[in-house]
Amino acid sequence: MKLHKKQRKTPMTQIKTLILSLFDAKVDTRRKLMVLGIVLYIISPIDLIPDFIPMVGYADDVILPILLLIAEKLLSGDTDSEPVKVRKEAEKVD
């Protein structure tokens, strides 16, 4: 089957690759801290805005996929391609 050959990109695999890239020494410390903050907010059970507030309470839940994309762009936007290599190596681990 072709599904086994193709790497499935789920949010959990993306978070795993982001966490593994935090341990790379070649990634800038400022970017590591930004990505760490994003990952902690994504996996945190505490919402910035409580869900019982109508309409506005679910706004921070909509932001989560956007934050995941921003974290990936932070790591892949480096001038050298080392973070991209780390992410690809992390995807091979899964």
Return the number of other C-beta atoms located less than 10 Å from residue 58's C-beta.
Answer: 13
Alpha helices in the chain (DSSP H): 2-5, 11-21, 29-43, 59-76, 82-93
Residue pLDDT, tens place only, 55-72: 887 887 788 888 888 888
Domain ranges of the chain: 17-93
pLDDT the model gives residue 5: 47
pLDDT the model gives residue 34: 85
